[in-house]
Amino acid sequence: MLDLPDARNRMVEVHLSRRGIRDREVLDAMREVPREAFVAPGFEEFAYEDGPLPIAEGQTISQPYIVALMIEMAEIGPGDHVLEVGTGSGYAAAVMSRIVERVYTIERHAGLAGTARQRFEELGYDNIEVRTGDGTKGWPDAAPFDAILVAAGGPGAPLALQEQLDVGGRLVIPVGDEPHDQRLLKVTRTGAATYSEEDFGGVRFVPLIGEQGWPESGSRIATARARTRSLPEMIAAAAEPLPDFDDPAFGELFDRFGDRRVVLLGEASHGTSEFYRARAAITRRLIEKHGFTIVAVEADWPDAAAVDRYVRRRPPRADADPPFQRFPTWMWRNTDVAAFVDWMRYHNERIRISSRLAGFYGLDIYNMGGSIAAVLQYLDRVDPQAAKIARERYGCLTPWQNEPSTYGRVALTSGYEKCEEAVLEQCRELLAKQLDYAQQDGVDFLDATQNARLIASAERYYRIMYYGGAQSWNLRDTHMFETLEHLIEARGPNAKAVVWAHNSHIGDARYTEMGVVRDEVNIGQFCRQRFGDEAALIGLSTHSGTVAAASDWDGEMEIKRVRPSHGDSYERLCHDCGVSRFLLDIKRDDDLRKRLSERRLERFIGVIYRPETELRSHYADASLAQQFDAFVWFDETAAVTPLGPEHVGTGVPDTYPFGL
């Protein structure tokens, strides 16, 4: 059963403190007030997640962070009298009552007001007064107020509320020209008839209904504000439309990133054709015109190595299995990847200069069994005695090679330290012989060395994955970044790399829920820290269409319909801008960059997609402009086409490298 007090403390620590709430009285009050008492029945277990929840009358209880932020902005303290407009569940009023002398709260829905009043009585919060009425007109007979907080978005700050502030008093209110496009403002009364105003960024609240707000219809009335461009309009103005993938102009739009050391290209799902085709077009341009020689992808090293032998026109390994046979096969065994791989092969045939050949490399950690086989095969050829010792050392892993996650179950109780040390020792010995092996076969040595590193990382990964939390993710992305570093080092001082991976790996984790809430790191963050402005992080996303995905891990691939993007998401902003496909260079427009730095929902679909629980399963909080340097948008997308016998080309023996 969920420990609610523990969950409440964690909410304060993770969702509030780590995101910048510093007011000790606010943090203590939110640690004291039981939010589960203010949510609808059945939602108690979700009370301490950082998200809004539905309540009666079509209203919501705001996410804890927004409640804390608005109260902190209001700068309330002991002895203050505070007015709240929009009682809702009563949670915010309850929190403020733990800090100030008296809270006055107005709710236009009588049912909500009555329920809130009952909750206050049950909790013994006797310094709160509740009234049913039009909150835009305030509470004149209780004025002046030290602070006024409005929990709904209006077209402007109602004059009645401003006039009910004491001198020095603060009004915190969402305002905007449209009922659902708002900025969080702090208005301070500086004199009898003077006010100052601060903008704290974009928010989304229910409309403020009333005489000095919006009418029930949602059209604008009362206090007027100068018309400014909406965020979708700003995106449309900055968007650079994308031509067809085969048009040279598509790749040319990305010449601006040609001088970078690393260009990271994301995707919002692992099964969308447009993402693969766009990355292929961009990568072709970077290889042909800007000297990039490394294509590093979110794939297992041994599988990618088979493709690399093909694109660099080297013979396949004897008795090697076709690559990408493990779930999810469609992620790399699809027609878009096959077309790009063939392009790389023919490009390299034209180059014929070893140092300028473009290589295809895997960054990921999963295929422990394939990695072991690759290291042993190499050692059998160059050092049979070392191969014999390696077989003995790897013996403690072999029972779980076909299902390596099983290793995690037994590792916690079966002396895994000995096995881990043996694997690490094998890696150390292989690296120690670098000079000897490199003289014999430098290309294969890179392959074998990386496989040894992968095994050491994979052993730890499968051991800790059952602990949960950020450990397994962080080990995986750290491994992938270190692999990228090794590749760049191996290819020489002028080597430049393109990385293909999911947006969750590409976008800087420090500006997403991953980093803020779960302490997770990723390749994008590491690349910025290591390469600075020489790294470009580019996300790709969509509004709707179809996607190739499974319902469960190791499940069958299905073609699923992608639900239209959520109304509170960055994807919906891009959809609403009206440009069907575009490049958004975020750093070229400072005003837009500031607006896109505001935290919103962002969609993440991996190899599993569950549309029935999409909001909970596939959306996370992020700051787009801090997460990425640029964003590529396709409003309508289609699923990838898995490779099958019907795609066998002519003149390619055994359809190498995919072995169809």
Residue type (1 letter), 139: W
Residue 56: CB atoms within 10 A of its CB come to 12
What is the model's pLDDT at position 220?
A: 41
> Please, which pLDDT band fits residue 144 given cuts at 50, 70 and 90?
very high
H or E element in which residue 594 lies: helix 590-595
What is the model's pLDDT at position 411?
A: 52
What is the model's pLDDT at position 400?
A: 43
Q: Is 549 helix (H, G, I), strand (E, B) or coil?
A: strand
Mean pLDDT over 25-50 rounds to 89
> Please, which pLDDT band fits residue 261 given cuts at 50, 70 and 90?
very high
Is 90 exceeded by the pLDDT of residue 466? no
What is the model's pLDDT at position 192?
A: 85
Q: Which is nearest to 397 in space by CA: 423, 377, 376, 378?
A: 423
H or E element in which residue 197 lies: strand 195-203
What is the model's pLDDT at position 219?
A: 43
> Please, which pLDDT band fits residue 77 given cuts at 50, 70 and 90?
very high
Q: Which is nearest to 36 in space by CA: 21, 23, 51, 46?
A: 46
What is the model's pLDDT at position 213?
A: 86
Cα separation, 607 vs 636, in Å, equals: 19
- Does 608 or 282 have the greater pLDDT score? 282
- Does 235 or 517 have the greater pLDDT score? 235
What is the model's pLDDT at position 45?
A: 79
CA distance readout (Å), 485 to 329, 405, 513: 27, 27, 26
Cα separation, 151 vs 502, in Å, equals: 36
Cα separation, 527 vs 534, in Å, equals: 9
152 near 206, Cβ under 8 Å? yes
Cα separation, 510 vs 517, in Å, equals: 10
Kindly tell me the sign of the dihedral angle through the C-alpha atoms of 156, 162, 164, 170: positive
- Does 632 or 6 have the greater pLDDT score? 632
What is the model's pLDDT at position 226?
A: 38
What is the model's pLDDT at position 224?
A: 37
Q: Which is nearest to 135 in space by CA: 75, 87, 206, 74?
A: 87
Q: Mind telling me the catalytic residues?
A: 62
Cα separation, 291 vs 305, in Å, equals: 21
Q: Is 558 helix (H, G, I), strand (E, B) or coil?
A: strand
Tokens 């290309």 found at? 443
Is 90 exceeded by the pLDDT of residue 214? no
649 near 339, Cβ under 8 Å? no
- Does 233 or 57 have the greater pLDDT score? 233
Mean pLDDT over 230-247 rounds to 94
Q: Which is nearest to 39 in space by CA: 61, 59, 57, 7?
A: 61
Q: 240-241 and 619-622 as β-strands: parallel, antiparallel, unpaired?
A: unpaired
Mean pLDDT over 172-196 rounds to 84
Mean pLDDT over 502-514 rounds to 93
Is 60 exceeded by the pLDDT of residue 519? yes
Q: What percent of the chain has pLDDT over 70?
A: 81
Cα separation, 202 vs 598, in Å, equals: 6
Length of the chain: 660
H or E element in which residue 129 lies: strand 128-132
pTM for this prediction: 0.71
Terminal alpha carbon distance of the chain: 50
Task: Provide the mean pLDDT of the chain.
Answer: 85
Among the ranges given (133-137, 145-149, 370-374, 411-415), the one the predictor scored with the smallest mean pLDDT: 411-415
Cα separation, 172 vs 147, in Å, equals: 8
Copy the structure tokens of residue 451: 């496989």
List pLDDT tens digits, range 316-361. 776 667 888 878 899 999 999 999 999 999 999 998 787 789 999 9
Q: Give the DSSP letter of residue 187.
A: E
What is the model's pLDDT at position 80?
A: 96
Among the ranges given (313-322, 544-553, 597-606), the one the predictor scored with the smallest mean pLDDT: 313-322
Mean pLDDT over 507-512 rounds to 93
Rg over alpha carbons for the chain, rounded to the nearest Å, is 29
Cα separation, 4 vs 10, in Å, equals: 10
